[in-house]
Each structure stands twice: as structure tokens, then as C-alpha cells.
A and B are shown apart, each in its own frame.
Chain A
Amino acid sequence: MIEKITAGLVGGAFLFGGLSVFAPLAASATGTPAGTAITNTASINYTDGNGNPFTANSNTVTTTVQNVPLVTVVASAIGFVVPGGQYNATYTITNTGNGNGNLNVSFPGDTGTDASLATAAAYEVIFPSTATLGAIPADCTLVATKSYVCTSVDVSTLIANAVMPENAALSLILPINVGNTATIASPAVTTPVAATVTYTVANNVGTTGAVTSVSSSGSQIENVVADSVLDLQKSVLEPGAAGNPSTTNLQYTVNASNGGYFPAVDLPAVKTLLGSSVGGVLITDAVPTFASSPLAVQSVTASVTSYSAITGAAATIYSTTNATGASGWTLASSGTALPAGTTFVGVLVSGGTGGTELAGDQGATTEGVVPTAKASVVITMQMTPPTGAGSGNANAFVNEANSVIGGNQPNPAPITGVTNPPLNVNGPNIAISTASSVSAIDSGTQGILYPTQAAGFTPTTVLQNGTSNAVGANALNLSAVFDGPLLTPEATGSYNGAVAVNNLDDFTAVAYLPTGFVPTNTSATAVVGNAVGATSTVTVPNTIQNTGNQVDTLTVSITAPTGWGVQIYNATSAGVITGSVLAGTPTTNTATYAFAAVPSGLAAATANTVNYAVTYTLPASATAFSVYDIVNTVTSTNDASNSNTTHDALIPGGPIALVKTQTLDATTCPTGVAIPGCIITYNVKYVNNAEAATYCPGTAPTTVPAFAGGYFAKGLTITENGATGGNTWGTTYSTPVGSTTKNTTGLNAAATDTVISTTTFPTGNTVGSYLFTALAGGSSTYILAPGCTGNIKFAVTINPN
């Protein structure tokens, strides 16, 4: 059976055996006070056979409690401090031994183990009332009976000495300045404070094994955290993108949050800058520029979400057209267009609790990463995207938001001789520990791009706090490509005269004469050219052009008739092949090549175009006077539906064919047979076979398009050489005369065909004795448009037998 027990009876009367009572002992950090006697006596109760009780007491054994000197150095709880800030390292140094001790405290160094720390210019020591102070250092002044402040430059010497009873503690307050280079998110550890306690051997305490002096040390640890830091994240949505209500405007969004540890305070200088009635936190965003012009800002809205203990903050919109944002700020209305030429948008956050605006989120956000759910401030801006070449290029315009924020690091209660650091202003391009009262806003802190970005920039995180990520945007992509004759990619034409003139049917006509080939018409009634008889090559230069608003890769593809060969080369602006073949072979009739990343809209206009040359290998079966039309197609990679064509028209032997016919005069040749006296009229028809006769323009161009040069016969000279060595079967009857079907107006409207005899061509001369040369188109301009024809006639009388 468990007897009723009452707790807490330590020290109660000892009732058995007649033993003495032991009083309770005073509590000690270490244990029983030194010198305390510990005695013990046993007793034995028993009975005899008759039940008579007896008690036997033993001897008494005694020992004493030995000295156990002990001292503890306990630093104050871990706190939070910012670079450039200050904190008080407070050490509690206790004689935790079991007796009176002489306590010596020293500070081995004046810098912390963290190189960024430095002791302030003074420290304070507060002794317990039970302490008996020893020598007071020379540079110390009593500020109370048991407290002094020391203005020590060298604290490596003794800083406190006193005899203190067990469990008595003194306090050492050591202000520490944190350097600007202190690493955030790492602990700052001060140099240990050392303490030694010395005991004298207590009376009646044996000396064997007694320890009379021990030492200990302790360090203050502070967590270095970021002061108020404005984390910003900027994003952009293209027109019509999900989340952007506009189908025509870009929508920029800036999310802001105080990613530091402490709340931000209002900056008076913001008030000065904006001319506002209150100070606050100013978030600025440089309006993106394209081609040196800022985008038009159609609307700005801003909202503030309160959290933590800071409420009441509101957002006000400002703008300026000042190039640096250093002045000219005016109040703007939410949701309305800002003045043309606005360079900066500013949102003032003010009115928060106690002059603070944004509670520190203690690391929930970081620079460039502020999810909307974490944002305290959200700014939304609608801007008109730019137009023009290059505006569609990725990141055609890049910028970022940035701002400054008031530091609000807590300062410790100052002790005599120590001054707290001022509140800071934190932001990009602002040195740590810059007092907010000195330079809250610097023109250079607004709209700065870190780093300066170039075209093709890939958005990255920013380099300094107070700036957002850089955001690149571009106008909606507009792809446009052209393929045309050399240097005229946008040319228009009708390669066959039948189709409408446009930039798809433009063409380059190339008449060429294969080596050793004599183009000959093999028909007496029509144009039927003879075969070349051997493979031949001809090169045609062309030019492609990207006229879209973005960088594009243009792919040229060519398909020639079966049996041909196609090879693609780069070409100079003169149409000369440069470099090695890019695609194709002399024996394959197709070739495709992608001219990569053809830029658009950049400073060098020529960079928008690429000249290329195609070398065609024609088979031996190719015939004279034939127009071989090969289509070159260029296609946009950005938009495969966007393509353009040009035609290469190849004419072996040239386009001009001669068809010679004879007509017997019905009167002199009544039977239709050439008899003596019969007059035979010869007609030499010259034909520009490049296009159908129906093409021959009734109205000639005022200038000859370069691309069509291959189709226009220039300097057309027809020579009648009679018969080699002459003949005797007839005599000339008429002088040759031309009757070209040609332009009646325009370039060669005034020209007439003329026949110039190298010798006289009088009537009655022997055929073959007199040659003539006919110049089609006149003596000054010799042009025969494609499809046009002409005739040279002359007559011969058959000699009598």
C-alpha cells in the first residue's frame, strides 16, 4: 500500500532514529555550496522474540563539499542586423560555481571573427549589487554604483573585475558596428569574450584535487539580413495574349515586394522629387524605347496590397518626360494615357502604418522573382508596340523597373559615447549605408538597365537589388520576303507576258551562247531552234530580301527541268559567285538553301538582303531560241506561309530567230514556178522569241527594265550574205526594206528599220554580188521587245537563160 506522500518536504524533520534535522540548502548553479558538510548516521530498529523494540544507532560519517569554480559567458539571443547596421552584443557572465569567486573579464580583440564587424567606441559593464568591484579601468566612468561605461580604444585589456558570490552575474554591453561588406544570410560572430573565475580554498575543505580557477568564453552571434529591399519583377504580354485584355497594346506588369527583413520607411527625398505632399516609396519604370523613341503609354494602374502589420498604404501614379527622370514628374490619372514622350512611369506608395509602406517579407521574394501572390504592389501598363523593321525581333526593346526603398534597420539602445547609424536608402547604384536624408533619389537610379542590353538579349536576373529583371519585348511578328533579280528583290514583272505584272512573276532573262554553238532556225515557217548539242551552264544572280519586322531565315528552293543541274552560291552585288557552292550539284535539278538569320530593320540596310547566284547546267538537248523558265522560291521560316518567287528565263542562243521565206511574183511567175524573168521576193522575219507575239507591247516602256534586258534584243543586225562567192541565177530587183512590227510609241517609237548596204544594192546587180545589213529598230536604238517581230524584204529577178 502506498502511503500518503506530500511532495516538497525536502528538509522536513527526520523522524526516525532520533536523528538531527537538515535544513534545505540554497540552490547553486553548480550544486551544494563549497564547505557544506554532508553527514550521515544509520539506525536499525528491531525487536526481540517478545516483540520488544530496540534501536541501534551507528556511527556518524561526515564529508564536505569541495570548491567547484565555474563561470559561464552567455551572449544575448541571436538577433538580426543589416550591413552597415549596429547591434549590442550583450554578454551575461555568471559565477556559476559553488562559492565566492574573483571574476575577471577580458575581450581579446576589437574585431569580430567576422571581418566586417568592429566594436563601437565604447562599452558598458553592469555589475550585480552583490559584487565587490575591483579596479576600474582607467578609461571607464561610473554611471551607477555598480555600473560603468568605458571609452576604450583598446579593449584587449581587462575590462571587468569583481568578487561575486555564486550565481551572481554581470552584464557586458558591447556595441558592434556591422560593415557594409557583411554577407547577407550568414551569421556574424564576434570575437569571444573571455572570463576567468578564481576561488580561494574554503575553510575545512580539503585541498586534494581542488580546482581554484577556471575560464570560459562566449561569442555573440547575429544573423546578417537584408535591410528593406525592393524586389521587382517585370513581365510583358503581347497584344492578345492570355491575360492581356488588349489586342493592340503590349501589357507590362511590375510586381514589387519588400524582400528585405525590415519594413521600408518613407523617403523624404521622394516627396521632394515628385513634389508630392507626402513621402513614400517610389517605384519607377523607364518606358521601353524603340529606335530611340519611348513607346506610347496608353494607361497605367497600380494597386497596393497590405499585409503584416503595415496597412493603409496607397499607390499614386506619376510620370515624366525627362530623359533621366531627375525632374518633371507630374501626377497622372489611373487608366488614362500618359503624355506623349513619357520616359518614366512612377508609382508612389505612401500612407502606410507609421511611415512605413511595405512590410519585409523576409526573403519570400528575390530580385526579379516576385510572384503576383507575393506582390505588395502591382503596376500594370498598356503601351503601344512600335512599328518598323526590326520591331518584331525578339527583345527588340528591353528595359526593367527599378527603384529605391527606405532602409529601416533597427538600432540598439545607444550607450554613452556610441551613436547609432542613420537610416539608409537602398536601391540600385546606391552605396550601402547611404543615409536616407542625404540622397534618397539619384537620377541614375531610375530606369537603369543592368547591364546595358544589346539586340538579341536574353532576359536575365538583375545585378543589384532594387531593380527588376530585364524584360524584352517585340511588336507582333510580321514576316515579309521577296525574291527578285539581282539587287531588285521587290521587282515586279511578267515572265511570260501572259500573267499579270506582279512581284511573283518578275524574272531575269538570260540569253547566252554556248561555246561553239550556232543557233539556227530549222524551220522555214516557224521558230524551231536547233539543239545545243552539249551541256552548257549559265549563272543567274538574284537577291532575296527580308522586309518583315524580325530576324528571319529565308530558304531558297529551286526546281529545274529534269536532266538539269542546279547549284546555289552566294553572290556579290555585281552578281558574281563568291565562295563555294551552298547547295545542289550539276546533275540534280533541285536545290534548297536556307540563308539563316537575315536581319531586318537594322542599321545596315544591305543586311536586309542576300544576293545569291544559281548556276544551271542545261542538257545537250536544250534548243536555241527556247525560253526555259525556272522558278526560284524564297520562304520565310518565321512564317512558312510567307513566300515569294522570281523566274530565271534561260535562252540558249538568244531569243532572236530568223525565218526566211520567198514569194514568187504571180505575174512574172505565172505558173508558180521560178522561170527566167520571174521575180522572187525574199522575206527575212526576225523574231524576238522570248515571249509570245501577243506580248509585244503596243506601248513601249520609257526605260528598259534591267531585269528584262535579256528579252530585249539590242543592236539587232541582220546580214544578207547572198551566196558564198555569188551566183549567176538572178539579179537584184529591189532594195531591201524593213517593216518591223515594233513599238509605235515610247522608247524606240521614232526608230525605223533601216537597211544599210555595205556595197551598193542597185537593181540589176548579180545576186550575191551585193550584200546588205539591216539594222532593226533604227540606227540609234536597236531594241526589239519580246514577242515583237520584223521583216526585211528584197527581191531578185531570175536571169534569162
Chain B
Amino acid sequence: MTHISRLSVRHGFVGASGPVAGAVEVHVGFSVGVRRRGLGDVRILTSFKSEKNQLTKKIAGFLAIAFVLGSAAAQASPVVKASITQSIVSHDASGAVVLAPVAANASLKPGTVVEYTIVAMNDGNEAARNLKPAAKIPASTSFRVGSAVSSVADAKAEFSLDGGKTWSAMPMVSVSTPQGLVQRPADASKYQAIRWSDPQSLAANGRATFSYDVTVR
């Protein structure tokens, strides 16, 4: 039995040409690889055309078709996609948090607060289990305590001081005192990475978000 373990878009919108405004025809080419464990990929090639403002919709519809075909052709499997975005955190006059996407080619002053948002999408036909999204606390930044949130109930943030070797909700460090080495909570500026442990599964077609803030040092 053919088992489709992974479905991925190898190439995006390849070959798109010409303006999309107006009633124009756009030719989009892409391939969808269906990996069958031990047998290599199965490649499906196709193309379509679309009119203005219908491009995304039709592409999405086409992909759905493609995935359905893939699913029909393979066994049930979770397919989780990960994406990350960054936004500048500020506050309006009322004190409400305002998120502004970081523009291309932008630079940030030290002290700027950046929110990273990780989006997990399960495009597979099976729930993804033991979901553990993770990301860095970039070296030039410091984690903002209490900023880790998730759309998944009970998702617990953990941090690593050693590049991901070990994790803890409250990393400890050994501090030398007159009484000897004692364990104390590490300063958040020492955090190098963050991850969430999700006791729940991410259902097929499920979507979950995870975000945290850092301050540019």
C-alpha cells in the first residue's frame, strides 16, 4: 500500500508573469511531491489560469484538490507547517498593545520590543501529536518575562539556557555564595530559546499560534 508520508510544495508560484490587474490570464506552474516511504517521490505536474482577484482563491482550491488527491493516494498522516512573523510592539494612547509588522529592510533601535509569532498548521489528515514548537531568543535580544502565550490551552512555555540541550519552565543557575553553590532562577536575559509543550494534539487542518516578545539589546 502506498503511504504518503509527506506532502510538500517544492516550488511556489513559478513562472508567474504579467500584471494581475484586470482580466488577465496567469499561468502558474508547480509540482507536488508525494513521498512514499521507500519508493521515492511521486510527482504531479499541473497548471491553471485565473483572473484577477481570483488567483489566490483558485490556487487554494487547486491545492486542496491536490492534497485530496494525495490523501486519497496515501495513508493518513499529520502534515504540520511552521511559519514565523515578527512585529514591533508598541502601545497607543490608551495603553493598548499595537503590533506593527517589521517592514522589509527595517532596522530597530536597541530597546525595541519585537513579538515573534509562530503559526503551526496541520495540513495533514491526522492529528499531529506531541507538538513542540520552538524558536530562538536571538542573541541580540532578551526575552520579556511573561510574554509567552499560545492559542493552545495548557501549552506550557519552557526555556533553555544551553542552546536547546535542556529545558525548564524556570531554568536555574548555580550561584556561588558564602554558603556554597546554591540554585537560583536564571535571569531571563540568559534565555537562549523557547519552546512549548502541547499536551493536546493539533488536529488535522488545525491551526495553533505561539508568540513571545523580545527586547533588542
**Which residues of A are interface residues toward B (Cβ below 8 A)?**
2-7, 9-17, 19, 21-25, 30-32, 34, 36, 38-49, 51, 54, 56-61, 63-68, 98, 204-206, 208-210
Contact = CB atoms under 8 A, between A and B. Distances in A.
A41 B84 contact: yes
27 contacts: A2-B171, A3-B168, A4-B166, A5-B166, A5-B168, A5-B173, A6-B162, A9-B163, A10-B190, A10-B192, A14-B164, A21-B163, A31-B111, A38-B108, A40-B135, A40-B136, A43-B134, A44-B118, A46-B131, A48-B77, A49-B127, A56-B80, A58-B135, A59-B84, A65-B108, A65-B216, A66-B109
Interface string B100-143: 00110111111100101010100000111111111110111100
Given A40-B116, A59-B84, A61-B116, 4 more contacts: A10-B190, A44-B80, A47-B130, A63-B108
B192 A12 contact: yes
A634 to B, nearest CB: 86
B84 A48 contact: no
B217 interface: yes
Chain B CB count within 10 A is highest, among A3, A15, A25, for A3
B184 to A, nearest CB: 10
A16 B134 contact: yes
Q: What are the 7 closest A-B residue pairs judged by CB atoms, nearest first? A: A31-B110, A16-B164, A7-B173, A66-B107, A3-B166, A58-B82, A46-B128
Given A11-B139, A46-B80, A65-B110, A16 B133 contact: no
Nearest to A39: B138
Contacts of B106: 63-64, 206, 208
Contacts of A41: 84, 135-136
A60 B102 CA distance: 13
A63 B116 CA distance: 12
A49 B127 CA distance: 7
Contact of B139 (A22, A44, A49, A208): A22
Given A5-B172, A31-B111, A64-B108, A46 B130 contact: yes
Contact of B192 (A9, A45, A49, A67): A9
A46 B132 contact: yes
Nearest to A70: B110
Interface string B144-180: 0000000000000000011111111011111000000
B202 interface: yes
Interface in B67-106: 76-78, 80-86, 102-103, 105-106
Contacts of A9: 161-163, 192
Contacts of B172: 2, 5
A32 B140 contact: yes
A57 B82 contact: yes
A17 to B, nearest CB: 6
B134 A17 contact: yes
Contacts of A14: 136, 163-164, 192-193
Interface of B: 76-78, 80-86, 102-103, 105-111, 114, 116, 118, 120, 126-136, 138-141, 161-168, 170-174, 183, 186, 190, 192-193, 195, 202, 216-217
Contact of B162 (A2, A12, A25): A12
Given A61-B84, A64-B107, A40 B138 contact: yes
B30 to A, nearest CB: 18
A19 B108 CA distance: 23
Contacts of A204: 105
Contacts of B108: 38, 63-66
Interface of A is mostly: loop
B132 A44 contact: yes
Given A2-B170, A14-B163, A32 B216 contact: yes
Contact of A58 (B83, B141, B166): B83
Contacts of B134: 16-17, 42-45
Contacts of B167: 3
Nearest to B208: A44
Nearest to A30: B110
Contacts of A42: 82-84, 116, 118, 133-135
A22 B136 contact: yes
A47 B129 contact: yes
A54 B171 CA distance: 26
A5 B186 contact: yes
Chain B CB count within 10 A is highest, among A9, A57, A63, for A63
Contacts of A65: 107-110, 140, 216
Contacts of A64: 106-108
Contacts of B192: 9-10, 12, 14
Contact of B130 (A22, A45, A67): A45
Given A54-B78, A63-B114, A65-B140, A40 B165 contact: no
A61 B161 CA distance: 22
A36 B162 contact: no
Contact of B128 (A12, A19, A48): A48
Contacts of B129: 46-49, 51
B139 A23 contact: yes
Contacts of A24: 139
Contacts of A3: 166-168
A56 B81 contact: yes
Chain A CB count within 10 A is highest, among B139, B161, B195, for B139
Contact of B136 (A4, A19, A30, A63): A19
B151 to A, nearest CB: 14
B163 to A, nearest CB: 4
Nearest to A12: B163
B141 A47 contact: no
B88 to A, nearest CB: 9
B168 A16 contact: no
A65 B128 CA distance: 37
A44 B209 CA distance: 11
B117 to A, nearest CB: 9
A209 B109 contact: yes
Nearest to B164: A16
B182 to A, nearest CB: 12
Given A5-B168, A14-B164, A15-B164, A68 B109 contact: yes
Contacts of B161: 5-7, 9
A686 B173 CA distance: 135
Contacts of B83: 42, 58-59
B141 A5 contact: no
B217 A43 contact: no
Contact of A56 (B82, B164, B166): B82
B114 to A, nearest CB: 7
Given A41-B84, A44-B82, A61-B86, A206 B135 contact: no
A170 B60 CA distance: 63
Contacts of B173: 5-7
Nearest to B166: A3
A34 B108 CA distance: 9
B84 A15 contact: no
Contact of A54 (B80, B114, B164): B80
B29 to A, nearest CB: 22
B190 A15 contact: no
B140 A15 contact: no
